[in-house]
């Protein structure tokens, strides 16, 4: 039985006709090695952002179902165009929408979860010798509507297909050479990590390393999919995400991650009675808003009221406010928000056995003049919410303090150089 591979190309890698043709050559080369090839494509360049902007020109609160109908078109364009390019190279390619590819999701429009993959049509295409191209980031819900999987969702499409067809590897081709010790757009001497454990990659993706969507990493771990994240501009080996038992070195800190898309919501005048925090968070969960850090300040005196602060993705702020409006009024709480927060995190499995990491993080940020507004930790991560504009300074300071740069540092001649800030 020949090997099977899923190759996923991100937006930058298919941004224009030249790049689509280049990706087509790479796909065909794989097929010519005798592999069965399934390809997942993202929308070209900034297409998804443009489609979102179009919707916002029309409506301040676009219907999520219609949003999905709109956003799903971006990846379909890429697939059809890539199929044409592959056909021109003398190979047969068929393009499929997420729905045609059998990706069944729940009904949470704009951030649907994959429930099942019915890959018969893909298998049939492969059996007929075709290269099968699947539009990333989308599926069809159990109510037969088009859904999308959240920003960066094509990674999850790729991993889910790899699991469904039992592929040997899921290759994620992107605009950087792999997973780095920090976003190479911010830290120019970040180190490419040859391997990273699922445990660490989950924490990295969850804390902002958008190079792999969080759900794709979760899915890969749950289904035993091997992810190889690599550059679409050269042939070099990238980063392989592996089980914990495979990682040899266990450095104290593996990476510094960040996010600039955070909003902090503060509820003041929160009644100091049992059950209030539960009601607030249930209202947010029912609206499908992910709450990240939560801090409650105890009332200053008995009988007075408390403050409750938490962070949510900035994109969810309007939804969060709407979800809180009714209980805020009922309980006499005031809702305030700061939209320009950021978060910086250090991630490393070695932290489990080494005390003092938190002290170092806080000291480094303090010395850089950065005020820490909220803190949260896991056994292998320390995250600090900081003012959004100070995120790059914070990331560079922590990356330097933990001495994370190294020999695999990005080279200026790499194509990525054109994006570096």
**Residue (152 or 261) nearer to Mg ion, CB:** 152
Contact present, 93 and 83 (Cβ < 8 Å): yes
Rounded to whole angstroms, how far apart are CA atoms 129 and 125? 7
Residue matched to tokens 């080494």: 354
Candidate segments 82-90, 149-157, 231-239, 382-390, binder of Mg ion by CB under 5 A: 149-157
Interface residues for Mg ion in 5-24 (CB under 5 A)? Answer: 10
Strand (E) or helix (H) holding 55:
helix 47-58
Which residue lies nearer to ligand ADP by CB, 127 or 418? 418
Per CB under 6 A, residues contacting ligand ADP are: 10-13, 42, 152, 174-176, 179-180, 182-185, 209-211, 255
Decide which of ligand ADP, Mg ion, ligand ASP, none touches 125; Cβ closer than 5 to 8 Å per partner kind: none
Q: Which is it for the CA torsion 176, 181, 184, 189, positive or negative?
A: negative
- By CB under 6 A, name the one of 98, 102, 136, 238 that touches ligand ASP: 136
Q: How many CA atoms lie within 13 A of 401 on its CB side?
A: 20
Min. distance of Cβ 266 from ligand ASP in angstroms? Answer: 29
Q: Which does 348 bind (CB under 5 to 8 A by kind): ligand ADP, ligand ASP, Mg ion, none?
A: none
CB-based contacts of 89: which residues, under 8 Å, 6+ apart?
Answer: 24, 25, 28
CB-CB neighbours of 83 under 10 Å: 23
| Residue whose CB is nearest to Mg ion in the complex, by number | 152
Given a contact cutoff of 8 angstroms between Cβ atoms, the answer to whether 185 and 419 are in contact is yes
Answer for which of 64, 98, 102, 153 binds ligand ASP (CB under 6 A) is 153
**104 HSE (CA, 13 A, CB side):** 11
Q: Which does 387 bind (CB under 5 to 8 A by kind): ligand ASP, ligand ADP, Mg ion, none?
A: none
Q: Which residues are within 8 A (CB) of 128 and not within 5 positions of it... i.e. 6 or more apart?
A: 92
Closer of 74 and 98 to ligand ASP (Cβ): 74
Q: Which of 64, 98, 152, 342 binds ligand ASP (CB under 6 A)?
A: 152
The residue range among 19-27, 85-93, 146-154, 221-229 that interacts with ligand ASP, by the rule CB under 6 A, is 146-154
Cα–Cα distance for residue pair 376/345, rounded to 1 Å = 9
Query: Total residues contacting ligand ASP (rule CB under 6 A)?
Result: 13
> Does 152 help bind Mg ion (rule: CB under 5 A)?
yes
Distance separating alpha carbons of residues 61 and 69, to the nearest angstrom: 15
Six token digits for residue 129:
């010798």
Q: Give every CB contact of residue 246 below 8 A, 6+ residues apart in sequence.
A: 195, 197
Q: Which does 345 bind (CB under 5 to 8 A by kind): ligand ADP, Mg ion, ligand ASP, none?
A: none
- List residues near Mg ion by CB under 5 A: 10, 152
- List residues near ligand ASP by CB under 6 A: 10-11, 42-43, 48, 74, 136-137, 151-155
């Amino acid at each position: 039985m020949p090997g099977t591979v899923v190759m996923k190309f991100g937006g930058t890698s298919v941004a224009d006709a030249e790049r689509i043709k280049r990706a087509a050559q790479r796909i065909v080369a794989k097929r010519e090695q005798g592999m069965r090839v399934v390809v997942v494509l993202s929308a070209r360049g900034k297409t998804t952002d443009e489609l979102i902007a179009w919707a916002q020109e029309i409506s301040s609160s676009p219907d999520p179902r219609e949003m999905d109908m709109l956003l799903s078109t971006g990846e379909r364009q890429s697939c059809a165009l890539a199929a044409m390019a592959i056909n021109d190279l003398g190979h047969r390619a068929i393009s499929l929408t997420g729905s045609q590819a059998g990706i069944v999701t729940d009904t949470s429009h704009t951030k649907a979860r994959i429930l099942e993959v019915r890959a018969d049509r893909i298998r049939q295409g492969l059996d007929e010798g075709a290269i099968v191209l699947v539009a990333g980031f989308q599926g069809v819900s159990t109510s037969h509507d088009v859904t999308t999987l959240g920003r960066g969702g094509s990674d999850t499409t790729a991993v889910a297909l790899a699991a469904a067809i039992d592929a040997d590897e899921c290759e994620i081709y992107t605009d950087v050479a792999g997973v780095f010790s920090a976003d190479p757009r911010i830290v120019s001497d970040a180190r490419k990590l040859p391997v990273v454990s699922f445990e660490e990659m989950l924490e990295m993706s969850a804390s902002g390393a958008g190079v792999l969507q969080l759900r794709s990493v979760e899915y890969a771990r749950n289904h035993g999919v091997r992810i190889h994240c690599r550059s679409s501009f050269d042939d070099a080996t990238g980063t392989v995400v592996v089980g914990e038992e495979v990682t040899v070195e266990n450095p104290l800190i593996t990476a510094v991650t960040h996010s600039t898309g955070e909003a902090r919501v503060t509820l003041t005048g929160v009644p100091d009675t049992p059950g209030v925090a539960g009601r607030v968070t249930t209202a947010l969960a029912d609206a499908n808003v992910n709450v990240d850090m939560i801090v409650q300040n105890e009332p200053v005196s008995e009988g007075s009221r408390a403050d409750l602060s938490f962070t949510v993705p900035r994109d969810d702020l309007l939804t969060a406010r709407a979800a809180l409006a009714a209980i805020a009024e009922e309980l006499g709480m005031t809702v305030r928000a700061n939209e320009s927060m950021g978060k910086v995190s250090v991630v490393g499995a070695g932290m489990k056995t080494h005390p003092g990491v938190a002290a170092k993080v806080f000291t480094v940020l303090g010395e850089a003049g950065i005020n820490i507004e909220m803190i949260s930790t896991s056994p292998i991560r320390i995250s600090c919410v900081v003012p959004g504009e100070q995120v790059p300074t914070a990331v560079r300071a922590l990356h330097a303090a933990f001495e994370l740069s190294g020999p695999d540092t990005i080279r200026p001649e790499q194509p990525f150089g054109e994006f570096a800030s």
